[in-house]
Structure 1
Amino acid sequence: MMDAFERFGLIINDRVVRTPIAIASMAGIVDARYILERKDHIGVGLIGGYAIDRPTMDAARGMAASSERKEFVYDDPVEALGAEIAQLKTFDVVTGINLRGSSPAAFAAVADAFGDDVVYEIDAHCRQAPMVAAGAGEFYPKNPAALMDVVKTLKSKKVTVSVKIRVGIAADDRALVRALWGAGADIIHVDLMDAGIAKLRQLRNSCPLVIIANNSVTTFDRMREMLSHGADLVSLARQSDVKTLAGLDAAISRYADEDGWYNSPKQLCRGGDIRALTFCCMPVKECPLIPALTRIGLSKDEYVRLKLGAVKGTPLEGGPNTCFGSLAWCCKTSSPCMFRDMTLAQDGIPKKEYMRRKRELSDTLMSRVFHDVPSPESR
């Protein structure tokens, strides 16, 4: 698994993720069998959604009986989930369970049964009226205090928590993800709907959580678009056939091996998220860097000190013939620059290694930007 870690650097639930591709839950469809048929081309499998208490179980039964929708229907949720989880334990896929519950106690009961074996994904996404009326799905982003109670309850069990949301449901998506970060969530699984990449960039700029982006990921271009605007992983649902998954897996692996940073952001001046500060030059002219620093509360001087300090003793420290005397200020390799490339060649630094170092620099910058967990008063 070291190859996968070196390639992507992704760890979820204390396990290396072999590829940044997830299967999103589809009620009545995505179970252990579904994941196992696709296990060679995914890193995370989110089975479900599973109703876990009486109100949501009754809603699931009603939905299955009154429409052509499929639902997982059973009498004992812990027993049903246990049988599914057991089938996935020996395989190289991080397992998550997408849960529909109407109270913190319902989620706590499942966490007590399975401990830290799985990722617990709170379904704050389902928009079916019976499930929302039961106090699950889209009920949660419309009632964020209830959602935070569930997150905090699960985190008290010392487990990894994902929250699946649909953009445009909460009053303010950025405020919601910041509140989820403050409550202890580890992962935001976001259905972008028709909101576009700008919304994903907003979420990335609002929290340091792992982001799984979902919506119409059928091509590598679409995958890279999401990764370059803030996603750590992408997820597929209806289009999660083996052929599509295999193509995406092969393409992102090749890209990572060639580029060195599989989800490198676009540069800030080209619409990138704030991870792209790693590619920005010194703050000496009016450009998108200046308002970005203002938004994140970083002065120009602090930005310069932070960046130069982070590269000290690394291959990025040098570069006297570059525009600002150090590779710390140089752009990404997809942008032509004779001075950067000349320096890399002279110092014997492969472009892949340069990008890997830029990712490390970005991680340092993001640690500073997201140093303080938001308090309830600041949300």
Structure 2
Amino acid sequence: MHIEDHAFERFGLLINDRVVRTPVAVASMAGIVDAAYVLERASHIGLAFIGGYSIDDPTMNAAETIASAGDRKEFLYDDPVTGLTSQIRKLEGSGVITGINLRGSTPDSFCDLVRVLGDTVVYEIDAHCRQPAMVEAGCGEYYLRNVEKLLAVVRALKGTGVTVSVKIRAGIADDDRRLAGKLWEAGADILHVDLMDFGTAKLRQIRNSCPLMLIANNSINTFDRMKDMLSHGADIVSLARHSDMRTLAGLDAAITRYADEEGWYNAPKQLCRGGDIRSLTFCCMPVKECPLIPTLSRIGMPREDYIAMKTGAVKGTPLEDGKQTCFGSLSWCCKTSSPCMFRDMTLRQTGLTKKEYMRLKRELSDTIMSRVFHDVPADTSR
């Protein structure tokens, strides 16, 4: 099997119709993360955002102001198009999906770049930078306090047909949950979240508000921390200051082993243990008072529809079996990390490994997510 086929079987991640070989990414750091930085780390990452790059007069002037103060670096180009073209070319053939983190103050600033650079890279809107000069120039955290302007950039970029990521800092917008929902509705593909000190509770809230690909960022430098993020809604984790070779190699190796052993690399915690909305795949029938009932109410799904959805989704699959289980089908059974003699007995009888069972549960979760966010009106108040 080809390396990319292995990676897709493990993680199931596609960006720009390319397989993401590992859910470990490098986040942009102004003046630091460029093509050379990424190429040194290419064997242990699947995605990298170079930059941030200032792309119009207001943000280029802001970058000059920041750099002249001497306390931090910036990428300074007289012609950002030429600079970005060179950087992107250097990363061709690296096996790493390339994202470009951009600091622009108008939709036209972003769209002008697309006309030259094309659609082979991910365009990341920097709504994250908190440097006063950048905020005054109308980018970075300015967008989180002026959400309609951010949405206008997303819509304009998406209108060109490119893949759009938005990098945000949690806790700046009035409501990160509402922001996530609005970004999804505007056409964003990826939400890259610097969680600051909010942790997994914030991540779970965002996951429950949108179906976007989520990248979790901030101090994710151990496998335990990485697993915590993945089990609360992240698809990918990104590193900035801790993106040294040793840390990246350790995370890449650990998540690969975990995926090969468990079958679902970012399986959520069960709902009754603080899991996000994907964990409905592990829930039983709604017959008792438990976290399932208020969750169904919040997403606007009647109990009967939930039952019909799961029953229909597993029809003709191995999850349909399970007469000895509590509710007569593996579709209602829990995560393999929870001991259950009836589930395990059924798996043995059907010849289904726990790894295969978890992969099927992931497919069921994808069906549930599609139903929640495409057939049911979004509820961004949760």
TM-score category of the 2 structures, normalised to the smaller one: over 0.9
In the alignment, which of 293, 298, 302 is matched to residue 301 of structure 2? 298
User: What do the CA deviations read for 1:277-333 (whole angstroms, capped 9, x no partner)?
Assistant: 000000000000000000001111110000010000000000000011100000000
**CA distance in 1 between partners of 2:375 and 2:57 (Å):** 39
> Does 2:228 match 1:228?
no
Look up the match of 2:5: 2
**CA distance in 2 between partners of 1:328 and 1:306 (Å):** 11
Question: How far has the Cα of 1:267 moved from its partner?
Answer: 0.1
In the alignment, which of 12, 20, 26 is matched to residue 17 of structure 1? 20
In the alignment, which of 284, 288, 311 is matched to residue 291 of structure 2? 288
> Does 2:340 match 1:337?
yes
In the alignment, which of 41, 44, 59 is matched to residue 44 of structure 2? 41
**CA distance in 1 between partners of 2:193 and 2:64 (Å):** 26
In the alignment, which of 210, 214, 221 is matched to residue 207 of structure 1? 210
Look up the match of 2:359: 356
SS in 2 for 1:349: coil
Q: How do 1:33-72 residues align onto structure 2 when only pairs under 5 Å count?
A: 33-72=36-75
- Aligned-pair identity in percent equals 70
Look up the match of 1:242: 245
Q: How do 1:146-161 residues align onto structure 2 when only pairs under 5 Å count?
A: 146-161=149-164
Question: How far has the Cα of 1:68 moved from its partner?
Answer: 1.7
> Does 2:169 match 1:166?
yes
User: What do the CA deviations read for 1:199-236 (whole angstroms, capped 9, x no partner)?
Assistant: 00000000000000001111000000000000000000
Shift >6 Å, 4+ stretches: none
**CA distance in 2 between partners of 1:324 and 1:145 (Å):** 47
SS in 1 for 2:197: coil
**CA distance in 1 between partners of 2:376 and 2:271 (Å):** 24
> Does 2:266 match 1:258?
no
Q: How do 1:43-192 residues align onto structure 2 when only pairs under 5 Å count?
A: 43-192=46-195
Look up the match of 1:309: 312
**CA distance in 2 between partners of 1:196 and 1:41 (Å):** 24
| Number of aligned positions between the proteins | 379
User: What do the CA deviations read for 1:33-81 (whole angstroms, capped 9, x no partner)?
Assistant: 0000000000001000000000000000110011320100110000000
CA contact (8 A) 2:177 2:381 kept: no
Question: How far has the Cα of 1:259 moved from its partner?
Answer: 0.3
SS in 2 for 1:313: coil
Letter aligned with residue 173 of structure 2 = A
CA-atom RMSD in angstroms: 1.5
Q: TM-score, normalised by structure 2?
A: 0.97
Question: How far has the Cα of 1:91 moved from its partner?
Answer: 1.3
SS in 2 for 1:117: coil
CA contact (8 A) 1:74 1:80 kept: yes
> Does 2:319 match 1:327?
no
CA contact (8 A) 1:52 1:99 kept: yes
**CA distance in 2 between partners of 1:155 and 1:274 (Å):** 27
> Does 2:34 match 1:28?
no
List alignment gaps of at least 5 residues for structure 2. none
**CA distance in 2 between partners of 1:340 and 1:215 (Å):** 37
CA contact (8 A) 2:34 2:51 kept: yes
Change (3 A) 1:333 1:33: same
Change (3 A) 1:374 1:313: closer
CA contact (8 A) 1:182 1:374 kept: no
Letter aligned with residue 208 of structure 1 = P
Letter aligned with residue 368 of structure 1 = R
Q: TM-score, normalised by structure 1?
A: 0.98
Letter aligned with residue 234 of structure 1 = V
CA contact (8 A) 1:181 1:373 kept: no
CA contact (8 A) 1:115 1:157 kept: no
Letter aligned with residue 226 of structure 1 = M
Question: How far has the Cα of 1:27 moved from its partner?
Answer: 0.1
Letter aligned with residue 131 of structure 1 = M
In the alignment, which of 196, 200, 210 is matched to residue 197 of structure 1? 200
**CA distance in 2 between partners of 1:42 and 1:283 (Å):** 41
Letter aligned with residue 31 of structure 2 = G
Letter aligned with residue 220 of structure 1 = F
CA contact (8 A) 2:28 2:50 kept: yes
Letter aligned with residue 48 of structure 1 = G
Moved more, 366-375 or 174-183: 366-375
CA contact (8 A) 2:18 2:97 kept: yes
SS in 1 for 2:297: helix
SS in 2 for 1:50: strand
SS in 1 for 2:374: coil
Question: How far has the Cα of 1:131 moved from its partner?
Answer: 0.2
